[in-house]
Chain A
Amino acid sequence: MSRHVMIVGVLWVFFTALALAGAAAMNPFPTVGAEEAEFSDHAFRIMTFMGAPVFGFVIAALVYNIARFRSSGQPSEDGPPFKGGGMIPRAWLGVTTALAVVVMIYPGLTGLAEMRSDRSYDLEVNVTGYRWSWSAQYPDGEFTSNEIVLPKDQRVRFNVTAPAGDVLHSFWVPAFRLKIDAVPGQTNYLWITPTELGDGANDAAFRVQCAELCGLNHAGMRMNVRVVEPDEFEAWVAEKAGN
């Protein structure tokens, strides 16, 4: 018995290491375009590191028992009658509960609190979703644009809505890792601080993509996003407002 436990223990370490190495080797994330993206990717990595040993344990137990105790013909005898009383289920319950509570608190609730912590902003953009296009209105410059241009390192609040007779849409920029639904008759808010220059023309992560099924041209309901240096932004605003 104890020999099986030992081998599974070794396999556990092996599969956990394998899962961690795999996770470290591949970078699944799109361009990190904002502070919020950094934050979301960090939470993602934490959960991957916490999940790897759980995954490793199940796979180790599964693989070892299949390899060691498989029988291609009909088994001629019964296995040992473990019924699973005693300490093992209690310990299992304790460990899984502890893990769940940890994930709830970090990165869960602490992350949620941090996401909400800063509601200041330097710039506002009113975003409206229609079937099937977006428009961005810049209240400071009193003009409307069919692309979103943002100055690097300035905090922006998006006021997202849809006209009362329209349908649900969702405002999502993959490079920023945040989305919020555009709900008819209701305004929802999103705060973002872009930290990297980028242009949707050469990076699909810098696009507003509708992420709530909205009918015929849902897939194509996109808008370009550009993050530029502040002086370039000022020039763009002056040009748009002048028109």
Chain B
Amino acid sequence: MAIILGFVLAVVGFTLGTGVLGGIRVSMGLEYWSTDLSWTIGYPFALLGWLAGVGGWKYWATEWFGGTAAQTPKGVKRYFEWNMDHKVIGVQYGVTFVALLLLSGLAAMGIRYELMQPGMQLFTQDQYNAVMSFHGIGMVAVAVAIMLGAFGNYVVPIMIGAHDMAFPRVNALSYWLVPPVAIMLVIAVIMGGWDTGWTAYPPLSVLNKSGQVLFNLAVITFGLVSILGGINFIVTIVYERAPGMTWGRLPIFVWGAFAGSLIAFFFTQGFAAGLIMILLDRVANTSFFHAAEGGSPILYEHVFWFYSHPAVYVMVLPAFGAVLEVLSHMSRKPLYAYKWVVGAMLGIVALSGVVWAHHMFTSGMEDYLHAPFLVLTEMISIPTGIIFLAAIGTIWAGRLWMRTPMLFALAFIFNFTVGGLTGIYLADVPTDIHLHDTYFVVAHFHYTIMGGEIFALFAALYYWFPKMTGREFNETLGKIHFWLMFIGFQLVFIPMFQVGVKGMNRRVADYPDAYADFNRFISISGFVLGSSFIFFTANMILSWVKGRRAAANPWHATTLEWQVSSPPPEHNFEGTPVIESGPYEYGVPGAPKHAHIGPASAEHA
């Protein structure tokens, strides 16, 4: 209901915004409608209408203006409108981004079908570029937001013994900014798409079709989601920890969320600024990137990668946290070298900001920038090495419980090793000059982001599924999903390394016949990989609807989220959590329990 109202008010807002603009234009003797400008002006009004409609007015803003905020409903209904409970928001993020993951995955299937043989079959070149671009930004959005959005929101406050996030209203606001992002991207595709991938390099992004404007508006909005989320996590983790939850006792997933949030907070502005400059070049005739008028296309690349390289650590730091979390609990061992891991995560945060130009070795930027960015980029392997030490040290001689989340966490180690090692070829200028913008790069970043983060996502998803839904998932379907996905993944991306070195460049609708055999093999493997998601989706739906009731602590894990019911009560704890030792004291003789729930204190009673 609220969503329908949101849509209606969005249309009203859009009509109003474009109407005022149109009126002014007509009075100036111009045409009423100008696609680029009308969308740019109409969209913010549509966004306000949407936010008001989905509950931003009823549950929040009205109070400011002297009204009385309504009570949020209980039951399933609350997932479909404005809600300030971090657990509801976590589920909203999770479901929304899994849907976007499946949609962008479907785009990948279309891409692989088209590339199965040379020539054009399924798409025209224009459609191919649109689908490829949608796949790119859809998956980047999923990768940036799903770990923090779904599990960060749901689990972090409980893990640290808080009753909610520090800013519950901002949290609801940042979630409800997400659907407009997805909707705008889909509208952009329907309008004919845009053809600049997810990177939106000018001058092409200044000269191409109006789908680009919708892309820019959507991604600027998404940047806002990321920044607001980042602030919320940072403040929550700094100020909302329970008594005894010292920095040295934080579960490692919380540290991963904290580190990722720092990056989201500090760097996202860069991308948004670049996209705003493109919009201004388009609608206000500025010339930031217009060479003939003194602008520089390379300027955009610097601004863009200043965010977009750190962004991969927004994706992967929470993933490190989730994987190490699962490895520790499911090996029944303390997390190996805990404090070193924390240092490594913060080291990655620091280094992430000074490596961006390794994406630009062939861009024609100044030669003297090559050496420092080569050195700084290869330094990233040092803190990343600590993460591997921790992973191996944690499973070493443990009691490895080979359930689905553990399989995904172990596969993460394998995939990220391949992804990490192949990154060195791309940091090294003499090889990167050949490999840049080839399928070698495509294979490399799929190994780190999909093989790394998305495998970690599934480790986290299966691990916390019982907690979040109160149901057990189907282990057999989970294992089928894992094996199809793991094997399919290797068979897709290993050959991509080779075809890239051989001379196939990326983002192409067609290729020379010489690469036909590779592409047929990759496409068929791609369909195997794609089919694994059928088992995943079936498992999620069936288990959520009719899975067995989950116990409070099915994994017999130590951390706080497992010490409350599945799903947890409305304010997370019936009493006050008290933390008495580190989170992973498995097998430590005489160690006190990590946490117990004490009697309700006066403050929260």
Contact string, B402-439, partner A, CB cutoff 8 A, digits 1/0?
10000000100110011001001101111101101110
Which size bracket describes the interface of A in this complex? 35 or more
Q: Is the CB of B437 within 8 A of A170?
A: yes
Instruction: Knowing A172-B505, A177-B433 are in contact, say whether A83-B292 is a contact too (CB < 8 A).
Output: no
Partner among B398, B401, B433 whose Cβ is within 8 Å of the Cβ of A40: B433
User: A214 vs B340: C-alpha distance in the bound complex, in angstroms?
Assistant: 44
Instruction: Knowing A92-B385, A207-B512 are in contact, say whether A75-B425 is a contact too (CB < 8 A).
Output: no
Q: Is the CB of B201 within 8 A of A62?
A: no
CB closest residue in chain A, given B120 = A219
Give min CB distance, B327 to chain A, whole Å. Answer: 10
Judged by DSSP, the binding face of A is mixed
* Chain B residues within 8 Å of A47, by CB: 424-425, 428, 431
Judged by a CB distance under 8 angstroms, whether A120 is at the interface is: no
Contact string, A34-77, partner B, CB cutoff 8 A, digits 1/0?
00010110011001000100110011011001100111111101
Instruction: Knowing A107-B430, A185-B292, A211-B436 are in contact, say whether A28-B497 is a contact too (CB < 8 A).
Output: yes
**Looking at B336, B337, B436, which has the most chain A CB atoms within 10 Å of its CB?**
B337
* Chain B residues within 8 Å of A88, by CB: 337, 389, 393
Judged by a CB distance under 8 angstroms, whether B280 is at the interface is: no
Judged by a CB distance under 8 angstroms, whether A112 is at the interface is: yes
Within 8 A of B (CB), among A102-155: 103-104, 107-109, 111-112, 114-116
* Chain A residues within 8 Å of B308, by CB: none
Give min CB distance, B138 to chain A, whole Å. Answer: 17
Judged by a CB distance under 8 angstroms, whether B164 is at the interface is: no
Q: Is the CB of B203 within 8 A of A215?
A: no
* Chain A residues within 8 Å of B375, by CB: 104, 108-109
Instruction: Knowing A39-B430, A78-B587 are in contact, say whether A179-B436 is a contact too (CB < 8 A).
Output: yes
Q: Is the CB of A103 within 8 A of B505?
A: no
* Chain A residues within 8 Å of B207, by CB: 167
Judged by a CB distance under 8 angstroms, whether A157 is at the interface is: no
User: A4 vs B126: C-alpha distance in the bound complex, in angstroms?
Assistant: 57
User: A59 vs B395: C-alpha distance in the bound complex, in angstroms?
Assistant: 13
User: A177 vs B509: C-alpha distance in the bound complex, in angstroms?
Assistant: 22
* Chain A residues within 8 Å of B586, by CB: 78-79, 81
Judged by a CB distance under 8 angstroms, whether A227 is at the interface is: no
Judged by a CB distance under 8 angstroms, whether A197 is at the interface is: no
Which size bracket describes the interface of B in this complex? 35 or more
**Looking at B201, B378, B425, which has the most chain A CB atoms within 10 Å of its CB?**
B378
User: A108 vs B392: C-alpha distance in the bound complex, in angstroms?
Assistant: 29
Q: Is the CB of A66 within 8 A of B434?
A: no
Give min CB distance, A151 to chain B, whole Å. Answer: 23
Q: Is the CB of B386 within 8 A of A79?
A: no
* Chain A residues within 8 Å of B397, by CB: 1, 4, 65, 69, 79-80, 82
Q: Is the CB of B430 within 8 A of A69?
A: no
Partner among B195, B388, B424 whose Cβ is within 8 Å of the Cβ of A213: B195
Within 8 A of A (CB), among B169-227: 195-197, 199, 201-204, 207-208
Judged by a CB distance under 8 angstroms, whether B91 is at the interface is: no
Q: Is the CB of B125 within 8 A of A71?
A: no
User: A167 vs B291: C-alpha distance in the bound complex, in angstroms?
Assistant: 10
Within 8 A of A (CB), among B493-507: 497-498, 501-503, 505, 507
* Chain A residues within 8 Å of B337, by CB: 83-85, 88-89
Give min CB distance, A48 to chain B, whole Å. Answer: 8
Give min CB distance, A38 to chain B, whole Å. Answer: 11
* Chain B residues within 8 Å of A37, by CB: 434
Q: Is the CB of A93 within 8 A of B501?
A: no
Judged by a CB distance under 8 angstroms, whether A9 is at the interface is: no
Partner among A61, A65, A79 whose Cβ is within 8 Å of the Cβ of B332: A79
CB closest residue in chain A, given B407 = A66
Judged by a CB distance under 8 angstroms, whether B246 is at the interface is: no
Judged by a CB distance under 8 angstroms, whether B113 is at the interface is: no
Instruction: Knowing A178-B434, A183-B363 are in contact, say whether A81-B587 is a contact too (CB < 8 A).
Output: yes
Give min CB distance, B339 to chain A, whole Å. Answer: 9
User: A114 vs B514: C-alpha distance in the bound complex, in angstroms?
Assistant: 32
* Chain B residues within 8 Å of A184, by CB: 203, 291-292, 297
CB closest residue in chain B, given A58 = B417
* Chain A residues within 8 Å of B512, by CB: 204, 207, 222
Nearest first, the 8 A-B pairs at minimum CB distance are A185-B291, A174-B503, A84-B337, A75-B399, A78-B587, A219-B508, A96-B385, A111-B430
B residues apposed to A, CB below 8 Å: 125-126, 129, 195-197, 199, 201-204, 207-208, 291-292, 297-298, 331-334, 336-338, 340, 362-364, 367, 370-371, 374-375, 378-379, 381-382, 385-386, 388-390, 392-393, 395-402, 410, 413-414, 417-418, 421, 424-425, 427-431, 433-434, 436-438, 497-498, 501-503, 505, 507-515, 556, 585-589
9 A-B pairs with C-beta separation under 8 A: A30-B503, A79-B399, A85-B337, A92-B389, A103-B378, A103-B424, A111-B428, A213-B199, A222-B512
